[in-house]
Amino acid sequence: MKKMYLLLFTITCAVNAVPKIDELLENIDKRYSMANDVKANVKITQQKTGQGAKKFEMIYYRRDATNSFLIVMTDPAVEKGNGYLRVDDNFWMYRRNTRTFQHINRDESIGGSDARGDDFESRKLMEMYSPAKDSSGKELIIEDTLGQIKVYKFEIKAKVNDVDYPKKIYWVRRDNNLILKEESYALSGTLMQTSYFLKYAEIKKAMVPVKQLFIDEFEKGNKSVLEISGISTEKLDNTIFTKAYLESLSK
């Protein structure tokens, strides 16, 4: 009988055991990865203390196979026609007024918004982060609830230098591993940003967060809402990821 209880206890523990963080990261990467080309409309509404709301709209083209993306600004009027083209290691900014391309860094602001070039990259969490552990070597993951939703809350730390934040805490749904909330911390331990993933859409079996809220925890009162619409996974023309295409939009 004792053996029976022991077996039941072991099975219960195994069923309720929290997964390894690496497994969750891998699942998240899989759920978010899109093998196809992507085209989408992106809208960023940015609110800053004392400045009111600003709206930025752009068309976003992405092709992971060649590590390329193209952003064409459509709003505000002053930015309309300007663009950002990334092909492999090269990242250019295009200015419609002067019809010139300029090499920029991946951390450059996009169209004057708080979004940066590297926010549009498709790097995998597994490549950038590893599980954070406590002093006993145990992974920092617990079962938690976010509102009414059962989630895993876990902490990861950067394993490469070129990431925005060296430490992140995630709340992901236990049932389908979708990210619901993310906290980003500076090396000093200061909470810099909280992101809420408000709405997802399933596109060709991949989950795309179509509405996200970013709250600036450093400068209180600043926040941004990112909305993605008109997602298409049709194969894009090869000419789109070229300088000539951006120039042709100005004609």
Site for other proteins in 185-214 (CB under 8 A): 186-188, 190, 192-193
CA distances from 57 to 13, 87, 155, 178 (A): 49, 22, 33, 26
CA nearest 76: which of 57, 102, 48, 104? Answer: 57
**Smallest gap, in angstroms, from Cβ of residue 107 to other proteins?**
5
Interface with other proteins, residue 169, by CB under 8 A: no
CA nearest 126: which of 21, 23, 25? Answer: 25
> Backbone phi, then psi, for 218, in 5-degree steps?
-80, -50
Among 184, 195, 212, 224, the residue binding other proteins under the rule CB under 8 A is 184
CB of 192 or CB of 249, closer to other proteins: 192
Interface with other proteins, residue 51, by CB under 8 A: no
Amino acid at 118: D
Site for other proteins in 135-164 (CB under 8 A): 158, 161-164
CB of 98 or CB of 188, closer to other proteins: 188
- CB crowding 193-229: b at 16 or more within 10 Å, else e: bbbbbeebeebeebbbbbbbbbebbeeeebbbbbbbe
Site for other proteins in 93-112 (CB under 8 A): 103-105, 107
CB of 59 or CB of 158, closer to other proteins: 158
| Bridge partners for 185 per DSSP | 167, 191
Return residues touching other proteins (CB under 8 A): 49, 89-90, 103-105, 107, 118, 158, 161-166, 184, 186-188, 190, 192-193, 218-219
